[in-house]
Each structure stands twice: as structure tokens, then as C-alpha cells.
């Protein structure tokens, strides 16, 4: 753990290599971030960077809300679901899968401007990323709970578009279609996996 709170979480063989190269104690939780990684963390002072991060966080939040509501419908089958049951499920999303599952994607071992939950992709996870993405999720939920309930039966991509573009406007049409901002289910993305090697995660 560094002063910034970032730790690289890697596969066992990669952990050992990084531990030797960085001179830190390797654990299954992770190893310290490199100075280069710290220096390349997203700059919120840059409006373009902040915009991409907010859009990516909104997309992640909308995807998890859609999946949680779909899971409830599948679980209940033909039994009528009361509105309070939908709300209980949504209440758990921001501090559940959004907060614990997402991190900033690393590309060529450096932080990008998007959030990912893909365990096969290198990510920066932990305190800062968790607070940021769950904070965006909370804003989206508080301001657009009724919109989510109204549109939750729509296909995933349509649901994300309604919430993040039409309603809360954290994405514009261009950023919503940006494959580099979303590896969520239903979105395609360019991970350049051939160049990245084994996945490693960075704990914030």
C-alpha cells in the first residue's frame, strides 16, 4: 500500500515477478504501485478526463442496476414484485457490486480513464476508485430511481442510454458509444489483451 492507497493485485506468478522487480513483499492482496503508475493516475483537473471517468462510472452503475433488477425478476418468476422489493435490491447495488467490484482499468500497465470489473483485465482497485464509482452510483440512484423502475425491462444498452445520456447526462452520444469506456456485459471493448500480458489489479 502506497501513500495514495494503490496496490497492484496480480496472479501468483506475476506477483512474484513484481515483488522481485519492485522490492516489495508480495501477497495475494497485491504489491505496491510503481512510481510511474502513481504519476499517471487520472487528473480530475482536466475536464475531458473527468468527463470520461464520470461517464464510465455511470455506465458501470447502470449496468449493475439493470442486472440486479433482472436478477430479482428471474428469481421471483411469475410472482408479482412489489415496488419496495425493487427498491431494496437497488439500495444494495452502489455499496455492493459497484463499490467492491470495479477499478480503474490499466492499459500497458498504466491507469486509463475507465472503470472495469473484468477479472481478466488489469485494474486499479480500492479506496479511491471504490469511493468515486460508488459515489456516482449513489447520485444516479437518488436522482433517477423512478426512471430506473420505469425502464428496467428494456434491453441493457437502451437502459444505459436512458439513464446516462438522456436523464443524468453524464455521457454524451459519442462517449456512450466509446468502446474504450465500457467492458460491461453488452458492451464491446478494446483491451489490447495481447500486449497486456497476465491481468494484474491495483488496489487504491
* pLDDT tens sequence across 44-80: 788 888 888 999 999 999 999 999 999 999 998 888 8
Half-sphere exposure of 153 (CA within 13 A, CB side): 3
Q: In what order do the strands lie in the sheet with 31-32?
A: 31-32, 7-10, 200-203, 123-125, 103-107, 110-116
- Looking at residue 54, its pLDDT comes to 92
Residue 158 inside a domain? The answer is yes
Dihedral of alpha carbons 163, 183, 95, 109, sign:
negative
pLDDT digits (tens, 9 = 90+) for 1-14: 444 454 444 433 33
Spatial separation of the C-alpha atoms in residues 181 and 178, rounded to whole Å: 6
**Tally of domains in the chain:** 1
- Specify if 26 maps to a domain: no
Q: Look over the chain and give the mean of its residue pLDDT values, rounded to a whole number.
A: 74
Residue 195 has pLDDT above 50, yes or no: no
pTM of full prediction above 0.75? no
Enclosing domain of residue 59: 41-203
How is residue 83 written as a grid cell?
415496488
Roughly what angle, to the nearest 10 degrees, separates helices 83-91 and 127-151?
160
CB 107 within 8 A of CB 196: yes
Mean pLDDT of 170-186: 66
- Which among 11, 22, 21, 12 has a CA at the least distance from the CA of 1? 22
**What is the rounded average pLDDT of the residues 6-26?**
34
17 domain residue, yes or no = no
DSSP character at residue 11? -
Amino acid at each position: 500500500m502506497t501513500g495514495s492507497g494503490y496496490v497492484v493485485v496480480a496472479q501468483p506468478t506475476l506477483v512474484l515477478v513484481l515483488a522481485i522487480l519492485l522490492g516489495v513483499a508480495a501477497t495475494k492482496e497485491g504489491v505496491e504501485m510503481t512510481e510511474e503508475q502513481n504519476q499517471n493516475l487520472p487528473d480530475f483537473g482536466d475536464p475531458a478526463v473527468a468527463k470520461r471517468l464520470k461517464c464510465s462510472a455511470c455506465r458501470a452503475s447502470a449496468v449493475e442496476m439493470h442486472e440486479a433488477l433482472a436478477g430479482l425478476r428471474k428469481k421471483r418468476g411469475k410472482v408479482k414484485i412489489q415496488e419496495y422489493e425493487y427498491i431494496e435490491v437497488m439500495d444494495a447495488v452502489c455499496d455492493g457490486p459497484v463499490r467492491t467490484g470495479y477499478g480503474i482499468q490499466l492499459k500497458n500497465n498504466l491507469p486509463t480513464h475507465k472503470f472495469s470489473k473484468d477479472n481478466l483485465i488489469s485494474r486499479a482497485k480500492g479506496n479511491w476508485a471504490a469511493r468515486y464509482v460508488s459515489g456516482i452510483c449513489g447520485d444516479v440512484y437518488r436522482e433517477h430511481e423512478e426512471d430506473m423502475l420505469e425502464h428496467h425491462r428494456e434491453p441493457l444498452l437502451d437502459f444505459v442510454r436512458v439513464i446516462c445520456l438522456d436523464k443524468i447526462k453524464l455521457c454524451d452520444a459519442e462517449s456512450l458509444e466509446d468502446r474504450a469506456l465500457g467492458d460491461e456485459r453488452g458492451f464491446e471493448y478494446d483491451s489490447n489483451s495481447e500486449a497486456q500480458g497476465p491481468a494484474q489489479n491495483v488496489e487504491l
